[in-house]
Amino acid sequence: MAASAARPTLALLASASLGAGRRGWASLAVSSSSAGSALPVVRGGRRLFAAAAGGAVMGRAGPGAVDADAGMNAVQRRLMFEDECILVDEQDNVIGHESKYNCHLMEKIEAGHALHRAFSVFLFNSKYELLLQQRSATKVTFPLVWTNTCCSHPLYRESELIEENCVGVRNAAQRKLFDELGIVADELPVDQFIPLGRMLYKAPSDGKWGEHELDYLLFMVRDVKLNPNPEEVADVKYMNRDQLKELLRKADAGEDGVKLSPWFRLVVDNFLMGWWDHVEQGTLQEAADMKTIHK
């Protein structure tokens, strides 16, 4: 995919809090790394990748951590301890892997040992309405907040480490859209995900948990059948631009308990409306810039 010229420095919202009037501003820096072009054949399914020589592997969470989180929902507990996220540096180079649990501990994040690769999917229907989800109450980070269609992580496995043309991230997005929203793979062809950009952000969820992610922003226009998983999703809703603006107003005013995820708010405030124009015009590829990492 051809990438557009790097964007100039912007201002990004640093959303350490989700409440009204509590957002601070930070300057946005940019850096560049190479992006692949050809779409390779995916082989090997979901076999776990052996750790590369010299790769970083942080210490596993010990028995004390397990005991301290005994009240965690069983599904979320399994995901936190079994899923292995892909550790990267700020240029998006893979440097190792770590449990989802450790990657989301604020003490690890603040120590600079938890930056990992993530993705955020923005799925539109044929009426160009954006599908939003409200995260379930059992989510460890940012429970019950409204966010884009699907937000998760590629895992440290062969099929999701493929760097060419973002195939690994696309494979992960297809997997999680089925896990969270019940959308079958046939309705979400991997090559139909359009990567538009990457951003690096950090945000606390509460005193213990948070996010520090290098987030791939994937767009698709597709009519699909939904079967949300209540362990992952509390509610779903398609929204047009005006409905989204009303949701933003409620979040800013603190009405009806509406809260938005920090990564979604960053995209909304800096990119989404311009990209929505490309969605409606069928020109999403023209908006893509996978060389720049927005910080």
Report, as an integer, the average pLDDT of 91-119.
Answer: 94
Q: Note if 151 is an active site residue.
A: yes
Percentage of the chain modeled with pLDDT above 70: 75
Q: Note if 156 is an active site residue.
A: no
Q: What is the pLDDT of residues 172-198, one digit of tens each?
A: 999 999 999 999 999 999 999 999 999
Q: Considering the candidates 101, 156, 201, 216, report the single residue annotated as catalytic.
A: 216
Regarding pTM above 0.85, the answer is no
The C-alpha atoms of residue 18 and residue 24 are separated, in whole angstroms, by 11
**Fold designation for 74-286:** Nucleoside Triphosphate Pyrophosphohydrolase (3.90.79)
Q: Considering the candidates 151, 156, 166, 201, report the single residue annotated as catalytic.
A: 151
Domain ranges of the chain: 74-286
Q: What is the pLDDT of residues 241-255, one digit of tens each?
A: 999 999 999 999 999
- Residue 265 phi/psi, 5-degree rounding, is -65, -35
CA distances from 227 to 15, 69, 99, 108, 182 (A): 31, 29, 28, 35, 4
Report, as an integer, the average pLDDT of 102-128.
Answer: 95
Report, as an integer, the average pLDDT of 116-130.
Answer: 98
